[in-house]
Amino acid sequence: MLNPAEAQSCGVPTIPRWSAPLGVALLAIAAPAQPAADWPAYLGDEARSHYSTLAQINIANVRELTVAWTYRAGAIRPGERSEIECSPLVIGGVIYATLPGATLIALDATTGKERWKFDPVTVATARGDNRPKSELTTNRSRGVAHWTNGRERRLLHSAGHFLFAIDPDTGKPIPTFGDAGRVDFNLGLDRDPTKMSLHSSTTPGSVFEDLYILPIRTNEGPGPSAPGHVRAFDVRTGRVVWTFRTIPHPGEFGYETWPPDAWKYAGGTNCWAGMALDAQRGLLFVPTGSPTYDFWAGNRVGQNLFGNTLLCLDVRTGQRKWHFQITHHDIWDRDLPAPPNLLTLRRDGKEIPAVAQVTKSGHVFVFHRETGEPLFPIEEVPVPSSDLPGEVVWPTQPVPTKPAPFARQTVSHADLTTRTPAAHRKALEQFARLKMAVPFQPLSREGTLIAPGLDGGAEWGGAAVDPAGIMYVNASDMAWTLPVVERKAVGSTSELGRNTYTLYCAGCHGLDRSGNAPQNIPALTALAARLSRADTLVRIAEGRGAMPAFSFLPEAHRNQLADYLHDVARPRSAKIATPIAPSSANDASAPPSYYDVPFVRAGGGRWLDDDGYPNVKPPWGTLNAIDLNTGEYRWRVPLGEYPELAAQGLAATGTDNYGGPVVTASGLIFIAATSDEKIRAFDRGSGKILWSAKLPAAGYATPTTYLVHGRQYLVIACGGGKLGTKSDDAYVAFALPADASDRNK
């Protein structure tokens, strides 16, 4: 654990200390209602606590943990990139988990032996559905939901833009649900479904009575996108029971915070990260993401409710109870990245039902669950304006006064890397040319530094809370660069292809097509050497892995893009269409200006030195313990390391991390998440590392713990695939040796 002096010496921003508010007592949350042996809901329960009452594995014996079993699907070919972000369910001795492509599996929880497998592509082919594979798969899946009324059971599973109801005993679709076991959730959004790119569901939703509330992922680029409606489906029939429109229609609350016709064309403002549910009060807590386009918003001037908002809805009707917008008019991709945590505070001898939301910017917002009243003061602070033509930044943004941020908010000369003299010198040179990293600095032509970066701060792994009122949240603490470019005027077919590339591809692959190695995004500079033009067109239309399908683009634009990528020069046409025309939009009446975004992000990403290490001082990833009763930090420690730097004496740097923690009644925190391919156990009281183990691939997921036949297990998905690490399709379960388990029953 770092003390304040050590924190300053290794670049950790010193966390301010406050005296505790009068009358604040320890947090008390009710023990989970479900049997302690199981892990029946995403992240443990519908309150998303990440908390287990199990205590067989404890501080005294955690070092004895050993591998109990390993499951590997064996479908990942050498060099292939994929991910598993799943936090499995465990119910009655059976694990329900997902594989790359959103294949659903059931495993014996004691042996890891496969019981059944549901592959949505195989099922679709068997029923004569020959639609593109991209419509039936999801490049990442974080798990599955379970429903039961005590007599019947079913799993709610998403793949592509379909929601399936699956029999937990057989792995077969339940034919009475929707169309022979599935519902196409592309339908019913008042948009042309063929124009909605990247419409899927990656995170399990919430189950309440006979309702399943579905999170969705939408296209975040400048082109056509699905609106982020929150919808509840009947778990028996698949019928939509209620809809809450996050881009308000005329007459609805918040409509005036958008341009008048934005509800017809704007997209996003969706909940992709998952939700939390207070079943006793019938309240659903929905964190939403940014409206599209993420990085220039001159076509959606206004506050843009309900983008970047924590919504409290009546779970039975979808009616709004209260809301708090955490980022106004987002142009920084500050989606709310994880489900909120539900907990109970004690102040002045009274219990207060609370909801806490972590953010990519490294803040924790804490509210009264019933009223939306902030439980720590929140200030609206002025923010810089934009120098990009047409952009109208909202003049203030909300910032909580407590707790202090759990990730750096600024970057100065003093924060730059000193790993080597050459790296420091290069960072200084680049820093002088970039727009300085201060909170809510708009994007710029010269490139803007943003801290923390687009992937947090907090990410989709979210935070854990324990009955003492302590939140445990892991954070990436990196600076990113965000340059934008102005699209060039069209004068030839090759420039048409380049414009299309700039609009849709440069944000990931870079304006110069050089790719992004740390994110496993390949270079496209010599594409013709490894992919034919015909195969390139298929890839553009159908997508693959993390790349979405761009089938919504007109065929002519896909051909121009393929020509550009293959460096094919075509004769100039006398009459050339613009890259985004009304015919390619969701509605032919949409004004071209809405989709014709003049400024787009072009590359950037993590600000790294020539050796691939961050250009800021460590730690680059942390695990934080925050007392949510007082807003004070208990401890903060680095999370992860680079083995090669540790060998050089630069240990405990922390790394970028994806996935979240699990906390147990025995005083342990389990977390993988790091690029060093390890899983660790921490003492939740001190932050001290008590145990670690090497995984077959990085565990970019949240662990699950459960008890079967008197033995406690800890299972983690080992998918890798991010941050330059290898991919796998393995699950590894740890347990105490059998005799030790018997001693600790």
Give yes or no for a contact between 374 and 367, defined as CB atoms under 8 angstroms apart.
yes
Q: What is the mean pLDDT of residues 584-600?
A: 58
Predicted pLDDT at 224: 81
Greatest mean pLDDT among 308-317, 565-574, 731-740 lies in: 308-317
Predicted pLDDT at 427: 96
736 vs 740: CA distance, rounded Å: 6
Position 576 in a domain: yes
Position 310 in a domain: yes
Looking at the chain, the whole-number percentage of residues with pLDDT higher than 70 is: 88
Q: What is the mean pLDDT of residues 3-21?
A: 34
679 vs 540: CA distance, rounded Å: 37
Position 356 in a domain: no
pLDDT over 70 (residue 453): yes
Which of 557, 575, 606 is the last residue in one of the domains?
606
289 vs 75: CA distance, rounded Å: 33
Q: What is the mean pLDDT of residues 247-251?
A: 97
Give yes or no for a contact between 615 and 416, defined as CB atoms under 8 angstroms apart.
yes
Which of 288, 311, 338 is the last residue in one of the domains?
338
Give yes or no for a contact between 333 and 221, defined as CB atoms under 8 angstroms apart.
no
Give yes or no for a contact between 166 and 104, defined as CB atoms under 8 angstroms apart.
yes
Position 207 in a domain: yes
Burial 483-521 (b: 16+ CB within 10 A, else e): bbeebeebeebbbbbbbbbbbbbbbbbbbebebbebbbb
3-state secondary structure of 555: helix
Least confident of 251-260, 316-325, 590-599, 604-613: 590-599
In degrees to the nearest 10, what's the CA dihedral of 434, 435, 437, 440?
-140
Question: What domain range includes position 199?
Answer: 121-338
Position 26 in a domain: no
Confidence of residue 489 (pLDDT cuts 50, 70, 90): low
pLDDT over 70 (residue 22): no
Neighbouring C-beta atoms of residue 582, cutoff 10 Å: 16
Instruction: Give the domain CATH number at 300.
Output: 2.140.10.10
Position 363 in a domain: no
Predicted pLDDT at 550: 76
Which residue did the predictor score with more confidence, 733 or 543? 733
Both tokens assigned to 646: 């540790």
Position 189 in a domain: yes
Which of 338, 360, 391 is the last residue in one of the domains?
338
Looking at the chain, the whole-number percentage of residues with pLDDT higher than 90 is: 69
Neighbouring C-beta atoms of residue 348, cutoff 10 Å: 10
pLDDT over 70 (residue 490): no
Q: Dump pLDDT digits (tens) for 673-686.
A: 999 999 999 999 99
Q: Dump pLDDT digits (tens) for 186-208.
A: 999 988 887 777 689 999 999 99
Predicted pLDDT at 512: 79
Predicted pLDDT at 472: 98
Q: Dump pLDDT digits (tens) for 433-444.
A: 999 889 999 999
Neighbouring C-alpha atoms within 13 Å toward the C-beta of 572: 5
Query: What's the structural domain count of the chain?
Result: 2
Both tokens assigned to 570: 């075509």
2 vs 637: CA distance, rounded Å: 6
Q: Dump pLDDT digits (tens) for 563-589.
A: 888 877 665 443 333 333 333 333 444
Please enumerate in sequence order all residues whose Cβ is within 8 A of that of 351, keeping only pairs 6 or more positions apart, or say none.
28, 344, 345
DSSP assignment string, 358-397: E-TTS-EEEEETTT--BSS-EEEEE-PPP-STT----SEE
Position 81 in a domain: no
Both tokens assigned to 103: 């294949």
Instruction: Give the domain CATH number at 571.
Output: 1.10.760.10
186 vs 231: CA distance, rounded Å: 12
